Structure 1
């Protein structure tokens, strides 16, 4: 009984810290009609959006936390000239100041027919036939997801067509159960989105980057695809799982259900991830995929047999103490991901700077992370 109370106390303490210095932007309802012109020297990220969120009646919110049928949009975000890699300069006023913060340039809801036509046009005009799909995690509003993905696309330097899949997270720390159900609710929506991309003949390769609870949505969608189609399309080449809030034993069953014809998986782990520590307490889980011990059995053998690559981010330090977003907060990590998205060179141990204290644990491959070889055909 004392142990249970102590664990609950730890969870509440961390929860209070998260509430005091969490990930939510200081200003909400940013998607208003008064769009901004990018500042001189600013960059711009244009993304397409697929969502299972219901359109919001709240002015400036665009999509809220309620569940709905699949919806679509196109959004453009400007990045300020003095942007620092690994950070999101959140707007502190409405409309945003594009000189100092991320700012909305364009936001338009689209029909399914319109989004497909827009996507086709984007591929025809672009320099790549590759697509990067991002699936956000727990406690993310629509605004959180859009601004974080814009930062990832910009900081990684990728020219892949960015597609955001956003599911109806409540964006509230104490809505963990609602978010978990919403993520499960959204697995069909993500599967359909991936089906659209696979069926498009102009698409060359598809990479997926998932964070936190978004890994559950991603793995369930891929598992369903494998069962429904008897395999996963070879177009889906690489799946990156960061800070995965998924029980590791469940992950093993999901991978087994996908069969041998599956994407290359790279798992980003962090033993200091305090958000996952809370998740283990809530679920009574021995290990989450995002913080398991890669040298412990039977996990080590499973990863080796299935050639699943591990990137251990435990020693990397960023500005926050929660350590539940190192993959995007660390300039080194996000740049390395980007290099693999734009080149055919594999990430090797010796290329990593000791300044960042990056501990790369390669599983199934002696010296290279083939799961991060995300190059598109040129």
Structure 2
């Protein structure tokens, strides 16, 4: 067996360290009775292709694929501003949570489509410009992770749009990348169905979309299908914001060419220090990922200008995100600028198909070989950049067990 390079060994060691400090409650969507004084409330309507079958109390939906589009209505309490840092999700340390300093759930209802539509229409009528904001999460994301992260984004951005979460079946495990990727593709028809419903709903004035990481794949594919079917995107689709897209730039160009950007403002958030996308490029070869390009270099500058796409370069923006993959949500100034853009209707100031099948094959295949540690080291940068998801490494590391030990032994002394 080949020895692991020192850089990869360092990544593996970091994974092990994170796994060792993992912990925290699951199934946090069990409602509490009262909201704390000074806390804020975010009400989110959910459309999901996840399955409710086998879900534990307080979980609602699993990471398995559902046979239809399901709906839910969830209210999240966010602790007073003095007790939290903008850009962070204050995860409960125990159950029930302390709403004075932690996120908590106030309501969690699974709905049938007619009731979900009735609640949506009642709320959209009260929002400025009758605007909906659809969020699509990335790889390695449990259902509650998606809910709480979106609640944080809505709160910290001061967005007045009606929050609509589209969440697809991610198992929330590092070594389930292949499953997650296929689940994203599995869900593109359902996302198009949701977007078509918003387009046809006369009570909706504007629709904005925010996607992250692998969520860009399912989002762009759904928009592509919609544009082909409808001969373009509806005029009410105002903003499409693509954060850290882990998508091949050549593929992205073809997708955008078929979507067209005449009616919608497309904005890409890029960061050249995004470690997750750097790892993706090492896996795939020399093809750049959209979220890590240098927007001022050739040919990207001219290509994006020709496509009428705005680029927000976050390379010099500091955040507590250790991989620089989630700056759009973790950086206070960035998340607030998103809210200002949504409120004003103005363009932002410039300033998990991502890796695809090959990574799925590398990581999942490695799990049954002596080189399993190498697979984890390659995959480590692709974890969702929320500290709570560190615990997702634990089961994978345990699964690899003795293989990791043997690898360390092979590398010892180098």
Q: Would the alpha carbon gap of residues 20 and 221 (structure 1) be closer, same or farther in structure 2, given more than 3 Å must change?
A: farther
Q: Would the alpha carbon gap of residues 202 and 285 (structure 1) be closer, same or farther in structure 2, given more than 3 Å must change?
A: farther
Contact 2:92 2:102 in 1 (8 A): yes
2:204 paired with 1:210: no
User: Which TM-score applies when normalising by structure 2?
Assistant: 0.79
Contact 1:11 1:278 in 2 (8 A): no
Match of 2:49 in 1: 52
SS at match of 1:315: coil
Match of 1:65 in 2: 63
Q: Distance in 1 between matches of 2:23 and 2:214?
A: 19
Contact 1:128 1:159 in 2 (8 A): no
2:244 paired with 1:243: yes
Deviations along 1:227-266, one digit per CA (max 9) or x if unpaired, are: 1111111111110010111111110010011135452111
Q: Distance in 2 between matches of 1:148 and 1:249?
A: 30
**1:16: Cα distance to partner?**
5.8
SS at match of 1:55: coil
Match of 2:77 in 1: 78
Contact 1:272 1:314 in 2 (8 A): yes
Contact 1:36 1:103 in 2 (8 A): no
SS at match of 2:95: coil
**1:278: Cα distance to partner?**
2.0
Q: Distance in 1 between matches of 2:272 and 2:23?
A: 26
Q: Would the alpha carbon gap of residues 336 and 226 (structure 1) be closer, same or farther in structure 2, given more than 3 Å must change?
A: same
Match of 2:166 in 1: 165
Deviations along 1:176-198, one digit per CA (max 9) or x if unpaired, are: 11111111111111100001111
Match of 1:149 in 2: 150
Over alpha carbons, which structure has the higher Rg? 2
Give the aligned length. Answer: 346
Q: Would the alpha carbon gap of residues 228 and 210 (structure 1) be closer, same or farther in structure 2, given more than 3 Å must change?
A: same
Q: Distance in 1 between matches of 2:106 and 2:163?
A: 16
Q: Which structure 1 segments of 5+ residues have no match?
A: 350-359, 361-378
Q: Distance in 1 between matches of 2:120 and 2:230?
A: 24
Match of 1:253 in 2: 254
When you count helix as a share of all residues, which structure comes out higher? 2
Q: Distance in 2 between matches of 1:225 and 1:244?
A: 20
Contact 1:36 1:98 in 2 (8 A): no
Deviations along 1:158-189, one digit per CA (max 9) or x if unpaired, are: 11000000011111112111111111111111
Contact 1:243 1:289 in 2 (8 A): yes
Match of 2:317 in 1: 316
Q: Distance in 2 between matches of 1:186 and 1:19?
A: 33
2:36 pairs with 36, 39, 48, which one? 39
Match of 2:264 in 1: 263
Q: Distance in 1 between matches of 2:296 and 2:78?
A: 40
Contact 1:204 1:235 in 2 (8 A): yes
Report matched runs for 1:277-316 at 5 Å. Answer: 277-284=278-285, 286-316=287-317
**1:284: Cα distance to partner?**
3.3
CA RMSD of aligned residues (A): 2.3
User: Which TM-score applies when normalising by structure 1?
Assistant: 0.86
Q: Which structure 2 segments of 5+ residues have no match?
A: 352-414
Report matched runs for 1:346-365 at 5 Å. Answer: 346-348=347-349, 360=351
Report matched runs for 1:10-29 at 5 Å. Answer: 10=7, 13-14=10-11, 17=14, 20-21=17-18, 26-29=24-27
Match of 1:180 in 2: 181
Bigger Cα displacement from structure 2, 284-293 vs 113-122: 284-293
SS at match of 1:89: coil
**1:124: Cα distance to partner?**
2.9
**1:21: Cα distance to partner?**
4.2
Q: Distance in 1 between matches of 2:247 and 2:232?
A: 22
SS at match of 1:277: helix
**1:281: Cα distance to partner?**
2.8
SS at match of 1:225: helix
**1:95: Cα distance to partner?**
1.7
Q: Distance in 2 between matches of 1:31 and 1:347?
A: 33
**1:280: Cα distance to partner?**
2.0
